[in-house]
Amino acid sequence: MIGILCMLLINGSDMNTENDRSEVFKFVGLQEQQMMLVNDGVMGGRSNSDFILQDGKARFTGKLSLENNAGFASVRMLWPYINSPSVDTFNVLRLKVRGDGRVYQFRLKTNQGYDGVAYSYSFKTSENKVQAVSISINDFIPTFRGRSLENMPKLKFSDVQQMGVLIADKKTNEFGIDLLELSLNQ
């Protein structure tokens, strides 16, 4: 099943190679069955979110709630480079986003399960401006349920199974971020 989803993901995307220095994936190439919303309702919270593919972008929106000691919303997606060992030649992940001035996390998971370790990187967006966020593979921090972990294996892009975006900035107003493009670079 995962193999079929991976083929759909890569074949449905606008992935290309530019001078062998960059692998580009456009989020609008995702299929509905390749993404999943995970909000704080899993622990009794009341935050909500949506993930919509339209107009050449993937839009993650919603509203955080701090009720019941909660306050996070996230979307998970299949990693577009599953079974691509050549991605280990890259050491920088670059996101092209349009944000709302809030802080988000970009997360990579090396397992296909629902729970588990995520390698996370936090970044602040600029309100209604397209920006490129460059993340060295060494800047991803292994976390589990909001806590940093030590003695974890070094992240390799070829081990990644899932990617995602999470917001948990303790602000109860609406949020929205457009995911435009992801690229792996040297």
| Domains of the chain by residue range | 2-185
Indicate whether this model's pTM tops 0.75. Answer: yes
Sheet arrangement for strand 103-109: 35-39, 73-78, 162-167, 103-109, 118-124, 141-144, 147-148
**Dist. CA 23–CA 127, nearest whole Å:** 27
- pLDDT score for 25: 94
Residues of the chain with pLDDT under 70: 1-21
**Dist. CA 106–CA 123, nearest whole Å:** 8
Q: Which residues contact 56 (CB under 8 A, 6 or more apart)?
A: 26, 28, 180
- Assigned CATH for 2-185: 2.60.120.430
